[in-house]
Structure 1
Amino acid sequence: MKVLIIGAGGHGQCVADTLLRGWRAGSEVEALGFLDDVEPLATDHFAGLPLLGRVPDLGDFPEAAVVVAVGDNAARKRLFEEMASLGRVRATVIDPTAVIGSDVIVGAGSYVGPLSIIGPGCRLGSNVIVNGGGCIGHHSRLGDHVHIGPGVVTARGANIGHGAMVGAGTVIKPEVSIGRGSVVGAGSLVSRDLGEHVTAVGAPARAVRRQEPW
């Protein structure tokens, strides 16, 4: 399968690195390059792959699957849904160093980064990001468009709502829920449930302001 990466920024380059290492290890998934609408770009190559054009140039590659590699949740959701409306196959990218439980479900278009661990019984929605070193405890659930930062640890049974963002190095205690659209600051300790569309920080994490719903 040939894959186009939508987004040539930092996260896109992480996705490219995973695809290239997988290809060298014998994977049949081949990364063709990037499409990106940001202008101007300083170079025409990122992580060893070429910049092939802008997102509207997608039609030049009718057989390629796509992965939306944009860190911002709202922008990633918009692009993911645009790709779905065009009937494009949305590739799921899992780093070869990740450890995935045998009964885990990972939704379409998601990315699981290097050295991540996804425990048994977990369910990840579509268009999810689990960055490198993330550890998702057994029987946890992540909604669509969730973004898990590097080194996040959830204990068993975490429930992270649609479109939530969990900052790097955060720890989430057992059976705790984070509401849809909420943002948890880096290095927080989430010891009790958080509502929808809030920003929370600290140890223990406390809501400090409201987020505008998408």
Structure 2
Amino acid sequence: MLVVGFGSGPLQANCYLLAEAAGGPCVVVDPGEDVAGPLAAALAGHRLVPSALVATHGHPDHVASAAGVTAAHGVPLHLHPGDAQLYEGDSVPLEAGTFAGLDVDVRPVPGHTPGSVVLGLTTPEGGRLALTGDTLFAGSVGRGADAESVRALLESLPDDTVVLPGHGPATTIGRERAGNPFLAGTGA
């Protein structure tokens, strides 16, 4: 599986491209502010074509470029209905499904926004990924993140699950379970 991530915009929100392999369809996750240039370079560099556009939540730093990506590639934004009022463009309800040949699980984790979700998938190689948006970061949690939702997420995923957050570096569920100071006392 191919995973490409890069930060963009003033808040350096992470945008991710997920694909079975280079040279095919991909899922674009969180096309935030100022994503057009880096996205075009990543798509060209890996010979990818967007077949799905997905947001972990509706804040502008995660969806500001969605309308442009939709217009350029003819793919709609999939967004949890709880965040539809945060996005001024058109979107379709985000549900679990197959995007670019990848089975994506959608776990609602309201708190940061009413429609915040974590996207989970198992790679063909057997690895596990959790795209956590602004719910869980390396060593931190997002503003307004619900401790119970985060605890339930940590309990439901194995330690070796790679966390791809909305900002900052990747981590693992095990690392966050063991050392995230914001989760102390949650039973995680």
Is the pair's TM-score, using the shorter chain for normalization, greater than 0.5?
no
Q: Which has the higher contact order (CA 8 A, sep 6+)?
A: 2
Please report the TM-score for the alignment, with normalisation by the length of structure 2.
0.33
Please report the TM-score for the alignment, with normalisation by the length of structure 1.
0.31
Higher helix fraction (1 or 2): 2
